[in-house]
């Protein structure tokens, strides 16, 4: 049986938000590229605080993404921080051994 990871034919770039400088500009860790599957998805979801958001994309990836990461979807300018997307929710898919197989990240 094929693994969901076999369907990750696109690439995303992500970096963790490490803080802000004296002027309030965000500082990021190093950018990392990972395999993913990006799907447009209009869906109303709730974040960890219970707030509702209309998602525009869902990304399936095995990258260790959290809510603290910023993500550039395929074809976006990675030099432009304003093009980075902030995850609204991250769902982990765990196999029978308790190992995280992939993440479903909502934007």
> pLDDT for 35-74, tens place per residue?
999 999 899 998 878 899 999 999 999 999 999 999 999 9
Tell me what the mean pLDDT of segment 67-96 comes to.
93
> Closest Cα partner for 57 from 67, 74, 43?
43
List the domain boundaries for the chain: 4-106
Q: What is the pLDDT of residues 17-41, one digit of tens each?
A: 999 888 988 899 999 999 999 999 8
Domain 4-106: CATH architecture, name and number where available: Beta Barrel (2.40)
pLDDT given for residue 1 in this prediction? 47
Supply φ then ψ for residue 4, to 5 degrees: -60, -30
Structure tokens at 51: 């707030």
- Average model confidence (pLDDT) for the chain? 91
pLDDT given for residue 90 in this prediction? 94
pLDDT given for residue 96 in this prediction? 86
Q: Does residue 89 surpass a pLDDT of 90? A: yes
């Amino acid at each position: 049986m094929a693994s969901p990871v076999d369907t990750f034919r696109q690439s995303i770039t992500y970096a963790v938000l490490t803080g802000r400088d004296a002027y309030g500009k965000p500082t990021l860790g190093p950018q990392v590229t990972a395999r993913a599957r990006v799907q447009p998805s209009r869906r109303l979801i709730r974040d960890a605080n219970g707030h509702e958001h209309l998602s525009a994309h869902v990304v399936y990836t095995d990258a260790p993404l959290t809510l603290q990461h910023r993500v550039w979807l395929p074809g976006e300018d990675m030099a432009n921080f304003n093009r980075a997307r902030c995850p609204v929710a991250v769902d982990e898919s765990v196999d029978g051994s308790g190992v995280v197989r992939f993440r479903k990240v909502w934007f």
